[in-house]
Amino acid sequence: DVRQGKGNVIVNHAMISKRHYNAALKIIRKVASAGYTVSPLVRVFEEGEGFEGRRVPKGKVMIATLCSITLDAILHHAGIPISPMFGGMVQVLERKPLRFTDLISYSGSTLDPLEIFSAKGLSSVLKAVETGNGYVLANFREIPMDAMVKAKEELKKAEKFSINGVLRIGEPNTPVLGVPVRINHVGIAVLGGTNMLTALSEVGIPVEIKAIEGFMDIKEMVDINELSLKS
């Protein structure tokens, strides 16, 4: 039950080389403090440590970050049906989200849309962080319009536990960042939890990203700013 700051959340994984750890930490902090992600909460797994049947190989470090689908789980627990519609790229102009420039529907793809945009090298998360102009990964979700007020309350509660990520909540039957919604629905644009990880590949740090990769107790995660650099 995330409303009380406990319970399981859904995480993305990034595997990087140990020697890139300090550089990666600085970039992830930067992206987190600029707010282009779901949460500053992370968990670092050192080489040899195991997680859900996988073991971190020698010379590697695995960083788990909160996946935006955690927000779906929060709303589902509150009895609000939320449908993932699209993964996409949002253009950021002068620090404001402007519009979705590309979309891939979840229902029409066997690959994770955000992993696709990340792999195609279409994002410029770090540029968005540094200059205020760039392209970031985001999802488009829909809830029934009757659930709008309740959903806003629940998302507000989650913020207290460092779970954010909502870019824009629309009005009933009104497009959000240029994307139309189904009748009697409200669109919600949510930042991708992988923005922090995609930023790593943007600077040339080899990173293997897996979206929606596992569960984790939120109490096992720490704020990225509390982690110290390795010597």
Binding site for a second copy (CB under 8 A): 86, 88, 102-105, 107-111, 115-116, 119-121
Judged by beta carbon, residue 32 or residue 89, the one nearer a second copy is 89
The helix (run of H) or strand (run of E) holding residue 30 is: helix 21-34
Report helix, strand or coil for 206: coil
C-alpha–C-alpha distance, residues 122 and 140, integer Å: 18
Nearest distance, CB of residue 35 and a second copy, angstroms? 26
Residue 209 or 216 having the CB closest to a second copy? 209
For tokens 């971190």, name the residue.
56
CB-nearer residue toward a second copy: 78 or 116: 116
Whose Cβ is closer to a second copy: residue 100's or residue 161's?
100
Least distance to a second copy, CB of residue 41, Å: 28
Least distance in Å: CB of 231 to a second copy?
35
**Closer residue to a second copy in complex, CB, 103/227:** 103
Half-sphere exposure of 112 (CA within 13 A, CB side): 19
Structure tokens at 191: 């930042």
Q: Which of 91, 88, 140, 83 is nearest to 116 (CA)?
A: 88
Q: How many C-beta neighbours within 10 Å does residue 2 have?
A: 20
Q: How far is CA 57 from CA 28, 49, 148, in A?
A: 22, 9, 45
Q: How far is the CB of 56 from a second copy (least distance, A)?
A: 23
- Closest distance to a second copy from the beta carbon of 107 (Å): 6
